[in-house]
Each structure stands twice: as C-alpha cells, then as structure tokens.
Amino acid sequence: MKVAPESAVQLGGRQLSRIIYTEEQIRERVDVLGEEISAAYSAEDDLLVLGLLKGSFVFLADLVRRVCCPLQVDFLVASSYGAGQVSSGRVRLLYDGEVRLTDRAVVVVEDIVDSGTTVNWLFPLLEQRGPKILELCALLCKERSVLDRQPRWVGFDAPGEFLVGYGLDSGEDLRHLPYIASL
C-alpha cells in the first residue's frame, strides 16, 4: 500500500497518524548504508552481521543484499518491551545464536534504538566473546537514547513517537508495512 506521507491510514482497527519514512526513502538509505559497510570491511575481516530479532529482520535482509563483501548472518532475540509500547527497562536474551564471534568483525543490526537499554545491556555481553571489531548499525535512532556506545551507522533519526512498519511492530502487528509510520 502506497500512502502519501501526510495521510492518516486505518489498518486493522489501528490508526496510523502519518508516514514518517516512505518505501523509497528507506530503499535509498539502505543502499547508502550497504555501500558504507562494504567500504569498511574486506574478506579478511570475517564479517558477521548479527540481527536483533524480531524487528530487524526486514532491514537486515535488505541491508545484507547491498553489502558487497563476504559475510555471514546470525540472529539474537533480546526483549525489553514485551507487548507494551515502552521499554520495561529489563532485558532478556530469548535466543542466543551459536556462531563464533572471536576475532571477527561483528556488525549488530538493530531496527530502532529507543531508550538504549537493549544495546547497553547487549554490547558488554558480546565484547566478552572476543570480536575483533564490534559495531552497531541501527535503522532508526531516537534522540532520547542514552548509549554507552554510539552506532557507527544510523539510517534515520526517529521522532519521539511509537513507530511501526518495515519490521517494527505493535503487539506483533504491522511489521509487514513497506514504510515506517507513526501509530
């Protein structure tokens, strides 16, 4: 569904107030991020792209297809939200991938850095596994984020609204939208 950025949309009983980033804007930005990551690494870096599920899966799939150096992909599932729209402040690791991080270049891919709670909790855990390089690539980053480590790559600044689409959800719904909207 293509919608003008200024339009409100009703989807499954939920009101989207506006489109924040269009499908085209996202595609163009992901192209640039892919180029930047490709320029930063080579085959010798043994690149691992580590996606934080569930929200990052759409972004990660598009991003890795635009990276031109050899890489592997794995996933982690960490949660601080549950079904709510505000972080609980407690992070739980629900799934831990089994791929080796030691002496590798690892790029963690996150859909949105909101409060910073998940990233601040996760990065020390990953550092203990001995990666040669550990970087963060976030599709969206909210200004209110308080991070111990800043993302190397950010797709877009995120407004202080609850966002859905392009992998971002509300109670597991609306991930499928090809754009990012405010709920």
**Residue 2: pLDDT over 70:** no
Helices (H) and strands (E) in the chain, counts: 3, 11
Peptide bond into 54 cis (omega under 30): yes
Bridge partners of 108, per DSSP, are 50, 136
Is residue 11, in this structure, part of any structural domain at all? no
Q: How many CA atoms lie within 13 A of 145 on its CB side?
A: 22
pLDDT tens, 62-111?
A: 999 999 999 999 999 887 655 555 555 677 777 677 789 999 999 999 99
Is residue 2, in this structure, part of any structural domain at all? no
Question: What Å distances lie between residue 120 and 27, 56, 129, 150, CA to CA?
Answer: 28, 17, 16, 10
Per the structure, the complete domain to which residue 135 belongs is given by 24-79+90-160
Task: Indicate the number of domains in the chain.
Answer: 1
Residue 3 pLDDT: 45
Residue 93 pLDDT: 76
pTM, rounded to two decimals = 0.87
Active site residue 74: no
Is residue 100, in this structure, part of any structural domain at all? yes
Cα–Cα distance measured from residue 16 to residue 76, given in angstroms and rounded to the nearest whole number:
29
Q: Per-residue confidence at 148, pLDDT binned at 50, 70, 90?
A: confident
Is residue 111, in this structure, part of any structural domain at all? yes
List 111, 114, 157, 169, catalytic entry: 114
Q: Per-residue confidence at 1, pLDDT binned at 50, 70, 90?
A: very low
